[in-house]
Chains A and B, each alone.
Chain A
């Protein structure tokens, strides 16, 4: 579960990125966070992942209170999150399997756990046949599915996808969203940050709209509940 209570964020250069954001995401939800560039979407993600600290306000992520978290606790908080980026961020010189093994080892999983878990998540994203390929040998959609598998492999309670379809054509984008929807149905909370209106409107999900550092709408339905701003 994620809770932001009256969160303000002012960067060192004086930019006021968030001006009193309140948001609650319960376990098992599927939420779109939408808004134009510079609206504060990325700041919300950075706050949740512990990359930056809020200037003011309270912030809870999966049972961790980020207001007074000890720095050495942050890695353990991050293990409850699986993060997906627009640019995939796969390691080019490692195979699909190794990319997944890498993040499992990073949190101390044994080889036995690797052998059990990796084929399962690859099958979940439909890439069980491509475990030995390198990222460069895969299409953009396939690479993003590897990134999703990587986010899932450590069994997080929540997936955060930051513009996951930004580099993909509409058909691949739809496939990725459907995959995320399926993952959500299997019990993982999903937060998708995007500005792709058409894509959001294809699903009937909760949409939180942020603009100019404030939440301007939070309803279930389409992008801004169908209203254009």
Chain B
């Protein structure tokens, strides 16, 4: 006669239980919102920095100059060797003449330069890297290729970006961990309070032969509802916050060096991550609180 899983009953019990201790539930939801907002803000900062680094990677090429005494054929023959260097994503050969043309472009009015022979410049390669964090070692490696006289890479800019991104990621990870633990305990306390309100019912249920699972499920559902409620509130709060901060950054930054990813483009990732984290904290907190019911 026994039905194994009565979802309707568990949901209704869990839902009603939230309101028997409204203030604790409210506090738990606030805590989850705060946790997710901080987690979200740092993650979004990291994502944006990563995105900018991506731009930088795409734009940031470094130059490898070829020995002066190499003929064009010899210089061209180095392409395969340079392409073989790890982390090199794209290699473009630029002849002296092309380099000169580039250089003269926009300087046509300067007579001194008109008669400049292409030989003053070297053949060169424009090289793109896959991972800008390894720009320095990659440029060094290219320099080691026989026939490469010198390299010129803007290592400092790349390093600066990488540093900021790594710090943001590190701070995010630490803060998320701390807040997750705090939220977990707040949820656990809320659920403990719920079990306290219902201790009579629980005692009676146990006495008449309810299984532990049956007793636990409503509390797990309660924790999950609190977690998901927090996640949804945090999702929209994060949206508002992101737009606001984005606007301030754009206004304060005339150079438009900084680009900001639109929130709507990331919704598909943010919403599931928030809901998942919220539900996980909620369910985890519940299980923490009702552990003792595992014993008979």
Chain A residues within CB distance 8 Å of chain B: 49-50, 71-72, 74-79, 81-83, 89, 91, 102-103, 105-110, 113, 150, 154
The reply to whether B1 and A102 contact each other, CB–CB distance below 8 Å, is no
Point out the residues of chain B lying under 8 angstroms from A81, CB to CB: 209
Alpha-carbon gap, A19 to B126, bound state (A): 94
Alpha-carbon gap, A113 to B6, bound state (A): 14
For residue B84, give the distance in angstroms from its CB to the closest CB of chain A.
63
Point out the residues of chain B lying under 8 angstroms from A76, CB to CB: 209
B202-219 CB mask vs A (1 if < 8 Å, else 0) is 011111111110100000
Q: In the complex, given contacts A72-B211, A107-B2, what are 8 additional A-B residue pairs having Cβ atoms less than 8 angstroms apart?
A: A49-B207, A71-B295, A71-B296, A78-B208, A78-B209, A103-B205, A108-B4, A109-B1
Residue of B nearest to A53 (CB): B296
Alpha-carbon gap, A81 to B207, bound state (A): 9
Number of B residues, CB within 8 Å of A: 21
Point out the residues of chain B lying under 8 angstroms from A91, CB to CB: 200-201, 204
Alpha-carbon gap, A85 to B296, bound state (A): 20
The reply to whether B200 and A109 contact each other, CB–CB distance below 8 Å, is no
Q: A72-B211, A72-B212 are in contact. Are A50 and B296 (CB under 8 A)?
A: yes
Alpha-carbon gap, A173 to B212, bound state (A): 35
Q: A107-B2, A108-B1, A109-B2 are in contact. Are A89 and B209 (CB under 8 A)?
A: no
Point out the residues of chain A lying under 8 angstroms from B296, CB to CB: 50, 71, 74-75
For residue B110, give the distance in angstroms from its CB to the closest CB of chain A.
90
The reply to whether B208 and A83 contact each other, CB–CB distance below 8 Å, is yes
For residue B273, give the distance in angstroms from its CB to the closest CB of chain A.
36
Alpha-carbon gap, A105 to B203, bound state (A): 15
Cβ-defined partner of A106 (8 Å) among B3, B200, B209: B209
Q: A50-B296, A89-B204, A108-B214 are in contact. Are A79 and B1 (CB under 8 A)?
A: no
- Asked if B19 lies at the interface with its beta carbon under 8 angstroms from chain A, I say no
Alpha-carbon gap, A76 to B1, bound state (A): 13
Point out the residues of chain B lying under 8 angstroms from A102, CB to CB: 201, 204-205
Interface core residue of B3, B204, B209, B214 (most chain A CB under 10 Å): B209
Q: A71-B295, A75-B211 are in contact. Are A108 and B6 (CB under 8 A)?
A: yes
- Asked if B9 lies at the interface with its beta carbon under 8 angstroms from chain A, I say yes
Q: Which 8 A-B pairs have the closest CB atoms?
A: A108-B2, A79-B209, A106-B210, A78-B209, A103-B208, A106-B205, A75-B209, A75-B211
Point out the residues of chain A lying under 8 angstroms from B204, CB to CB: 89, 91, 102-103, 106
Residue of B nearest to A78 (CB): B209
The reply to whether B207 and A83 contact each other, CB–CB distance below 8 Å, is yes
Alpha-carbon gap, A76 to B211, bound state (A): 8
The reply to whether A89 and B200 contact each other, CB–CB distance below 8 Å, is yes
Alpha-carbon gap, A108 to B208, bound state (A): 12
Q: 10 pairs across A/B with beta carbons < 8 Å?
A: A76-B209, A83-B208, A102-B204, A102-B205, A103-B204, A103-B205, A105-B9, A107-B208, A110-B3, A113-B1
